[in-house]
């Protein structure tokens, strides 16, 4: 941040190590399942969530290398709140692996704001990629074909290896009231264990009551693909009122 009057950004925040709580999830009856699959049990204990924790961004709050007082003074009609969360996935040897997970952060204000609030004003990380090695082969040299007989004249084969970035985390809904992070399993990285911290600054109308609800979706693969979610049974700790 070059000057203290610019919009504050999220960096250099204090360490975040919240307690992790198991998230109750229900199988989505509309998701695909192979006819020969046994009944899929609940994911009990395999998805753990830390947060969401909310902290008001007031005049004394420090983001990056400058105070936010000048920025807040220029935006008196809005309140800014930092939301921090984390998620972890647990897998045993016989558990079907997680393929994908998405965390949706839904904002509502009473009375409702205009088109500029409440919104996810900034999100971090916005994208995470993991390098994947790709090998390509090509054959160089003249070829001669006579009477349907093909001959290769002094050819050689070249093998090229390169790294291709594969996304393991993506975002959607920035500057909207329904922001989300999606975590992807990649060829080189299973969707397992502790995931990156998710940070979001919410812009909401000053003086309005603003609520945040987190809805978690996961997909696991056995002989078919099965989706689970917290939809319709969102536990209390995934629903908070912003300060």
Name the residue with higher pLDDT: 129 or 69.
129
Selection from 29, 35, 79 nearest residue 57 by Cα:
79
Q: What confidence category does residue 120 fall into, taking pLDDT thresholds of 50, 70 and 90?
A: very high
Per-residue pLDDT tens for 128-173? 877 666 555 565 555 544 555 555 545 555 666 666 667 789 999 9
Is the model's pLDDT at 215 over the cut of 60? Answer: yes
Place 36 in a pLDDT band, splitting at 50, 70 and 90: low
Distance in angstroms (rounded) separating the CA atoms of residues 50 and 21 = 6
pLDDT of residue 15: 76
**pTM score, whole prediction:** 0.78
pLDDT > 90 in the chain, percent? 31
Query: Looking at the DSSP assignment, which residues form a beta bridge with residue 105?
Result: 179, 214
């Amino acid at each position: 941040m070059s000057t203290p009057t610019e919009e504050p950004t999220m960096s250099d925040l204090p360490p975040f190590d919240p307690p992790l709580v198991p998230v109750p999830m229900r199988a989505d009856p509309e998701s695909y399942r192979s006819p020969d699959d046994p009944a899929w049990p609940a994911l009990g204990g395999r998805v753990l969530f830390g947060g969401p924790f909310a902290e008001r961004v007031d005049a004394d709050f420090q983001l990056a290398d400058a105070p936010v007082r000048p920025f807040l003074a220029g935006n008196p009609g809005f309140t800014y709140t930092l939301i921090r969360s984390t998620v972890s996935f647990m897998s045993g040897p016989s558990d079907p692996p997680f393929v994908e997970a998405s965390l949706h952060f839904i904002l509502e204000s009473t009375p409702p704001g205009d088109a500029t609030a409440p919104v996810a004003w900034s999100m971090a990380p916005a994208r995470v990629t993991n390098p994947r090695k790709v090998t390509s082969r090509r054959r160089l040299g003249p070829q001669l074909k006579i009477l349907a007989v093909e001959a290769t004249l002094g050819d050689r084969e070249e093998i090229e290896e390169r790294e291709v970035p594969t996304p393991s985390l993506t975002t959607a809904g920035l500057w909207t009231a329904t922001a989300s992070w999606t975590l992807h399993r990649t060829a080189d990285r299973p969707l397992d264990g502790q995931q990156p911290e998710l940070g979001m600054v919410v812009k909401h109308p000053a003086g309005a009551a603003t609520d945040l609800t987190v809805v978690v979706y996961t997909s696991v693969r056995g002989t078919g693909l099965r989706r689970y979610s917290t939809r319709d049974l969102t536990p209390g700790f995934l629903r908070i009122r912003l300060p």
